[in-house]
Structure 1
Amino acid sequence: MKAIWRVFLTYSLVGLANTLVHWQIFFVLRVAMGLDQSISNLAAFCVAASFSHYLNALYTFEARISATGYGFFLCVMGALSFAVGYLGDRWQVHGLLTVTVFSLLSLVFGFLLSRFVVFRGDHP
Structure 2
Amino acid sequence: MSGFGPNPGPVPGMSDAAAMMHYDANKRSVVVAYILWFFLGWFAAHRFYAGRIGSGLFMLAVSLISWALTAIAIGYLGLGFIGLWLLVDAFLIPGMIRAYNRDIITSLGR
Q: TM-score range by the shorter chain?
A: 0.3 to 0.5
Normalising by structure 2, we get a TM-score of 0.37
Larger Rg: 2
Structure having the larger proportion of residues in helix:
1
Normalising by structure 1, we get a TM-score of 0.34
